[in-house]
Amino acid sequence: MGLIDRRSLIIGLVVGLVVGILLGMPLFWGLFPVEWTDAQTYDLSPEARAQHMALVADSYKLDKDPERASTFLAGWGDTEKQQAVQDAKATYEREGRPDKVQAVDDLALVLGIQEEAPPIEEPTGFFEKVRVPCLVFFVVLLVLVLGWIGLRVALRQRSAPRAAPTARPMPPPPRVDEWEGVGQPPLGHFFTTYQLGEDTYDESFSIETPMNEFLGECGVGISETIGVGDPDKVTAFEVWLFDKSDIRTVTKVLMSEYAFQDDSLRTKLTSKGEAVLAQPGSPFTLETSGLQVRVDVTELAYGEGELPPNSFFSKLTVELVAMAKPAESSVNAF
């Protein structure tokens, strides 16, 4: 319905993505760690391989069948066999069981397993390798993003004009005699003010019957900016009216003098709606099949700087008075 601040949307998406990945990856790995299935005996840890070698030695001691013993070590590499023999013998020597040590020696001899073997370095899983670097990377990225956002906010606050808050007087009642529906009370009477620095300015108002029945909405939002740097320099606003019974939105573009007189810029903006020059005392109307809104600029001030004169607003106050169209007007619309 209204305009969306693209810059805030992009920042929100980036921060949400970074925080989601940062929190999601460690959490996911913690709750759902990698689980191995259909593992072989050579996939066991060094301690478990040593225990398996001891069991094979006990089996060979009973049946003296080297072929059967070798099947229990199928797929094992020479280094893994040698290390398992050394670990099994070392365990039995600590326990003071020479008969078990001899059984392992007999198995190693019949299977041709050498005594000396370099220690095996267990391969580290891919996720174990990248977990810490990824976590550090995303923490640094999050700090940079948050720091950039904080810097942008600080610069924007410094560049925005600081005016002491003043009490706004109550607006006078609308002049219903200027409308076709003479004698009908307005459905809504709204004032909205934009000031330089409000880069996310986008006001909308609900239009309802005295019985709180929703009829539509109207509002004012930023349509076009010019120049570079902060704060944004607004050269045109969109004033719109939505009628739920008409299921459409009527829009007119309220332009600065510069935008209204610049042919290329005016042509670009008229694609969004009828062009209207912003000037106090020149009201215009938005109409649908059932509603009409009288729009009047009550206060206007242009900004100063390097840009052309009267090219961007420093302050703009707009009055909107919503009325129901008389029955005759609604019928004639069809």
- Domain spans of the chain, in order of start: 6-34+124-159, 46-111, 176-332
Q: Mind listing the pLDDT tens digit for each residue in 15-62?
A: 777 667 666 666 566 556 666 676 777 778 888 888 888 888 888 888
Asked if residue 193 has pLDDT above 80, the reply is yes
Model pLDDT, residue 125 = 54
Neighbouring CB atoms inside 10 A of 145's CB total: 16
Beta pairing, strands 274-277 & 248-255: parallel
Average pLDDT, the chain: 78
Q: What pTM was computed for the model?
A: 0.47
> Comparing 120 with 94, which gets the higher pLDDT?
94
Please write the tens of the pLDDT for every residue from 236-251: 999 999 998 887 789 9
Per-residue pLDDT, averaged over 177-199, amounts to: 78
Q: Which residue has the higher pLDDT, 108 or 200?
A: 200
Q: What percent of the chain has pLDDT over 70?
A: 71
Instruction: Output 174 or 64, whichever has higher pLDDT.
Output: 64
Mean pLDDT to the nearest integer, 285-290: 91
143 C-beta neighbours (distance < 10 Å), count: 11
Residue 7: per-residue pLDDT: 58
Q: How far apart are the first and last CA of the chain?
A: 25
Q: How confident is the model at residue 74 (pLDDT cuts 50, 70, 90)?
A: confident
Helix (H, G, I), strand (E, B), or coil: what is residue 233?
strand
Range with the poorest average pLDDT among 89-103, 209-223, 253-267, 296-310: 89-103
Question: What are residue 301's phi and psi, to 5 degrees?
Answer: -145, 135
Mean pLDDT score, 165-175 = 47
Q: Say how far apart CA 275 and CA 284 lie, in whole Å.
A: 11
The per-residue pLDDT for 131 is 63
Q: Tell me the CA distances in angstroms from 37 to 34, 40, 53, 128, one per residue in order.
A: 10, 9, 22, 18
Residue 224 backbone dihedrals phi, psi, to 5 degrees: -150, 140
The string of pLDDT tens digits covering residues 298-314 is: 999 999 888 999 999 99
Cα 147 to Cα 259: distance, rounded to the nearest angstrom: 36
What is the Rg, in whole angstroms, of the alpha carbon atoms belonging to the chain?
39
